[in-house]
Amino acid sequence: MKEQFQAYIQQLQDSICKTLENVDGKAAFKEDLWERPEGGGGRTRVIENGNVFEKGGVNISSVFGKLPEQLQKALNVSQGNFFACGLSLVIHPISPLVPTVHANWRYFEMYDDEGNIVTQWFGGGQDLTPYYLFNEDAIHFHQVCKDACDKHDTTFYPQYKKRCDEYFYNTHRNEGRGIGGLFFDYLKETDQISLQERYDFVTEIGNSFLNSYVPIVEKRKKLKYTLAQKDWQEIRRGRYVEFNLVHDKGTLFGLKTNGRIESILMSLPPKVQWHYNHLPEEGSEEEKLIKVLQEPKNWI
């Protein structure tokens, strides 16, 4: 399974990068190959200062070795040897009218002292973080997610949409990071669902990503915006940074397993603002966004 999924994320990285370069029309992804001393490595690709994208990364990695004791406790496992591979992406557009997007699809194995697999699972999802709320964009993103889920099980979308709302939530701010999407983890083989069926589902979601995001970018990328709207985007990016550094489990896993810092922190936007006790004007488009983030909405 790990060879199968590694081949998939390599192909998916190529497809996503090529499509985003075409959407941008100027910037190209720069590739950085790296190795992890404890085992494994990755292929980081970053795009910067384009026509559409201010900064973005589409990374794949495959790492293995001894799992730190702290993470053994966090994952509730007694075995210490692991393998993990996945694709992780974050795209920060220049325009505040184009949303930031994040996605991740991953596979994990744990081994006993003899090298036998003792547990294995998939995780991942994709979520949208707009700075100005266009309802039709939110509906489109969620509809693509739902359609992909429904091909496998009609209970998946409501279940994983709810988990996404709960996970990507800044509890210290009492608001969501964005308008959600899908989040799933620990998708293991069961009596009813084989590991291959789990793979088929996760790759279905991965294959749906470009259709969920690119039409939104194409629709919004040429809209005119003001300096005040750009300031709001950078203030909201601050909340994005707060989540990634305070709450995100993927960031923690990377830091605790001696992951490559540049790849782990590529999710952080280049320009961010923090204003003391900043509140949007009553009745404004900015306040409209905040109200939705404070109470997750069913878009479908």
Domain ranges of the chain: 2-294
CA atoms in the 13 A half-sphere facing the CB of 12: 27
Phi/psi region, residue 229 (left: phi>0; alpha: psi -120 to 50; beta: rest), is alpha
pLDDT at 22 over 80: yes
pLDDT at 74 over 80: no
pLDDT at 157 over 70: yes
pLDDT at 135 over 90: yes
**Average pLDDT, rounded, for the chain:** 94
Residue with more model confidence, 247 or 29 = 29
Averaged pLDDT, 74-97: 87
Averaged pLDDT, 86-97: 97
Residues with Cβ within 8 Å of 121's Cβ and at least 6 positions away in sequence, in order, are 107, 108, 185, 186, 187, 188, 198
Which of 48-57, 189-198, 264-273 is least confident?
A: 264-273
Residues of 104-132 as b/e, b for ≥16 C-beta within 10 angstroms? bbbbbbbbeeeeeeeebbbbbbbbbbbbb
Share of the chain above pLDDT 90, in %: 83
Residues with Cβ within 8 Å of 174's Cβ and at least 6 positions away in sequence, in order, are 294
For residue 24, count other CB atoms closer than 10 A to its CB.
22
Which structure tokens are listed for 298?
């069913």
Catalytic residue among 92, 102, 140, 142: 102
Using one digit for the tens of pLDDT, what is the confidence trace for 107-132?
A: 999 998 888 999 999 999 999 999 99
What pLDDT, on a 0 to 100 scale, did the predictor assign at position 75?
Answer: 63
Q: Are 169 and 183 in contact (CB under 8 A)?
A: no
pLDDT at 24 over 70: yes
State the CATH architecture for 2-294. 3-Layer(aba) Sandwich (3.40)
CA distance 116 to 109: 10
What pLDDT, on a 0 to 100 scale, did the predictor assign at position 38?
Answer: 86
CA distance 176 to 174: 7
Q: Are 40 and 47 in contact (CB under 8 A)?
A: no
pLDDT at 277 over 70: yes
Q: Are 208 and 142 in contact (CB under 8 A)?
A: no
Residue whose structure tokens are 């940074």:
241
What pLDDT, on a 0 to 100 scale, did the predictor assign at position 208?
Answer: 98
pTM (two decimals):
0.94
Question: Among 133, 140, 289, which residue's Cα sits nearest to residue 216?
Answer: 140
Rounded alpha-carbon distances, angstroms, from residue 27 to 54, 106, 189, 216, 288: 10, 27, 41, 19, 33
pLDDT at 144 over 80: yes
Q: Are 210 and 14 in contact (CB under 8 A)?
A: no
What pLDDT, on a 0 to 100 scale, did the predictor assign at position 76?
Answer: 63
Band of pLDDT at residue 79, cut at 50, 70 and 90: low
Averaged pLDDT, 31-46: 93
pLDDT at 171 over 80: yes
For residue 175, count other CB atoms closer than 10 A to its CB.
18
142 an active-site residue?
A: no
